[in-house]
């Protein structure tokens, strides 16, 4: 059962374009939403955490929103750079359970 | 990531050998997890623990055992390694609903 779906699976853009990554969930239980970045062969680096009472979080060029009524979260990356190339994972946490999306692999072309 | 340390980072095993992966955290978190990450399959939960002395099975527990004798350590054991256990293993902890990951252990079983 796929609880967390990320679309698209892969994305390739020229440098400077804005990135929009989507994450959706199959149920509306109370949860937090966390976005991670994973570089090839590396671990997961936390980017943003949206707590259940919040609607969005921002850090530099990154903005993540959470719409619990529709079960969706969106990660925006403004003015993309080649260094943004990585796989982005959304993770929903509910009590002790973590649910992962399969990730969106982003390539930013110089 | 600071706070969650996995040992070793790389290992090659022969089929049938045993080994133990160590996850150590210094954040006093109750919840700890072991995941495996395989291409095209995302992260899958092997075992988890909600506190010292407790463990529970996750999605793919077969072939693995765990122990949480001390709050700060979560051990993952392979009693008789199989090529199907070739993977990247991640340990994670959780505080509230925020997750923290180790840098991973790349295990190859030949």
Q: Please, are residues B28 and B22 in contact by the beta-carbon 8 Å criterion? A: no
Q: What is the pLDDT of residue A65?
A: 95
Residues of B in contact with A41 (CB under 8 A): 106
Kindly tell me if the per-residue pLDDT of B37 is higher than 80.
yes
**Strands A62-67 and B73-78, sheet pairing:** unpaired
Average pLDDT over residues A32-56: 91
B47-76: string of b/e by CB count within 10 Å (b at 16+)?
A: bbbeeeeebeebebbeebebebeeeeebbb
Average pLDDT over residues A83-97: 89
Q: What is the pLDDT of residue B2?
A: 57
Q: For an interface test with A, which of B23, B43, B97, B105 has the most A Cβ atoms less than 10 Å from its Cβ? A: B97
Question: What are the tens digits of pLDDT across the range B40-97?
Answer: 778 999 999 999 999 999 999 999 999 999 999 999 999 999 999 999 999 999 987 7
Alpha carbons B91 and B34: distance in angstroms, whole number = 5
Question: What are the tens digits of pLDDT across the range B86-106?
Answer: 999 999 999 877 899 999 999
How many residue pairs from chains A and B have C-beta atoms closer than 8 A? 51
């Amino acid at each position: 059962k796929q609880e967390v779906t990320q679309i698209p699976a892969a994305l390739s853009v020229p440098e400077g374009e804005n990135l929009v990554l989507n994450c959706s969930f199959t149920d509306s239980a109370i949860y937090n939403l966390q976005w991670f970045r994973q570089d090839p062969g590396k671990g997961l680096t936390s980017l943003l955490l949206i707590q259940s009472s919040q609607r969005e979080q921002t850090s530099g060029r990154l903005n993540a929103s959470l719409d619990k009524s529709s079960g969706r979260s969106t990660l925006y990356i403004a003015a993309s750079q080649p260094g943004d190339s990585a796989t982005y994972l959304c993770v929903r946490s509910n009590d002790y359970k973590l649910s992962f999306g399969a990730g969106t692999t982003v390539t930013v072309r110089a | 990531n600071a706070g969650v340390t996995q040992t070793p980072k790389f290992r090659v095993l022969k089929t049938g050998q045993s080994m133990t992966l160590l996850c150590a955290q210094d954040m006093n978190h109750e919840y700890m997890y072991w995941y495996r990450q395989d291409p095209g399959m995302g992260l899958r939960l092997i075992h988890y623990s909600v506190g010292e002395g407790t463990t529970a099975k996750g999605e793919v527990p077969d072939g693995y055992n765990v122990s949480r004798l001390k709050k700060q350590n979560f051990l993952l054991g392979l009693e008789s390694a199989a090529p199907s256990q070739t993977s990247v293993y991640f340990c994670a902890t959780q505080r509230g609903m925020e997750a923290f990951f180790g840098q991973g252990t790349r295990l190859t079983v030949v």
